[in-house]
A and B are shown apart, each in its own frame.
Chain A
Amino acid sequence: MKIKIVPFGIAKEIMQGSNITLDLDVSASIADLKKILKEEYPDFERLNSLKFAINENYEADHFQMQEGDEVVIIPPVSGG
């Protein structure tokens, strides 16, 4: 299934600014995605945290994505 990946902040730099589309196994989880991203972009390992949001909500490791989902990569936030 196709999953669009949208990185922000330092995640965008780690991925060289690109939104990418990944082709994942049906019912792949956030944990699976995290593993794939860390293999492709080892700099993600060095971050203080790495979170993911779908439909503007944080989703945990066990969350299973669906075809067409847009997953936003949320590196450590630092507003304020």
Chain B
Amino acid sequence: MTNPTPAYVEGATVLLQERLTDDVYRLTVAATTGGGPGQFYMVHAWDREPLLARPISIHSVDEDTVSFLYQVRGRGTELLARLDEGGEVTLTGPLGHGFYTEELHGRVAIVTGGIGIAPVFCLASTLPPGDVTVIAGFKSTPYAVAELLTLGVDVQVATEDGCEGTRGFCTAIFDPTAFDTVVTCGPIPMMARVAQLCAEAVVPCQASLEAHMACGVGACLGCSFPTVSGNKRVCADGPVFDAAEVIWHA
């Protein structure tokens, strides 16, 4: 899959702002810039403060729209959540190297934690449905699951408070030996655990990393993550990496 050239788009119109849970929203904007699963946009929806744009993954995408699934964590995402339909956002993207879908064969597991589920809809849409199992962990009430079921993929849920699915971490209900390839996206400790399980089971695993970003395009070296072949830029060399290459506990 070739990555489309990124563009800088000012004033993309907000088409839809949906509140899915207490702090999780889905924002759909009019944009023809496209992108593939695992790629992201730098999103700016404020005037001057905060200063920097925020990296948000592509949740779903078509010719005319891009949508984002995001969790309010701080100032930037809080301002995103204040946007109404008709509001405007500034986007740079699509950016980064997404999932290596050509390497996802056989039985595919997608193991996510929390808002790490954001890029999964886009990814699952490109895979043959019968072979995909999403193992999704949440603190409490799950979100963005129903739409995955519409794709015909199998979804297994774990919640820390046990309010739905299995109580506990998603890594507890993930057995790598049942799969041919694995994808993971979520908090670093969780992905580290998935990577370890996959390494032990000798199953290839792709992980979508997170890092604080400034430029988002590969120019500032602000988002580096250590790998066996040196520091890599999460934004430009990733965000998706071969989990076996990542040095998880640097």
A binds B: no
